[in-house]
Amino acid sequence: MIESIVIPMEHGLLLAAVLFSIGLLGVLVRRNIILILMSLEIMLNACGLAFVVVGAHWGQADGQIMFMLILSIAAAEVAVGLGLLLQAYRRFSSLDIDLANRMRG
């Protein structure tokens, strides 16, 4: 018989909180648009991890369904974000967010 490894729910939620904090710090501190998008992805994955952990604790598939929804939102965010990134690079020849902050009309 194979013994299953049980990870306490608190550990999973703590990991999700740490990942979300790292992503939030990256969004607030970074000036490069690519790094900001990567930090947003970390935050979305942290939310997905929290849903999966809680769903597994309750024995429901709802957390995994929500994670699939989060993955689809992340894919849409990447597509739109990269389109905006290419346009900003063409216009300013830089990926610094401070240059895009000075846009006029």
Whether residue 99 has pLDDT greater than 90:
no
Task: Give the per-residue pLDDT at 59.
Answer: 87
Distances from the Cα of 77 to the Cα of 3, 20, 40, angstroms: 40, 17, 9
pLDDT top residue among 14 and 59: 14
Phi-psi region of 59 (alpha: psi -120 to 50; beta: other; left: phi over 0): left
Helix (H) or strand (E) holding 82: helix 62-92
**Closest C-alpha among 4, 42, 2, 46 to residue 23:** 42
Q: What would the pLDDT profile of 1-51 be if each residue is shown by its tens digit?
A: 778 788 889 999 999 999 999 999 999 998 888 898 899 999 999 999 999
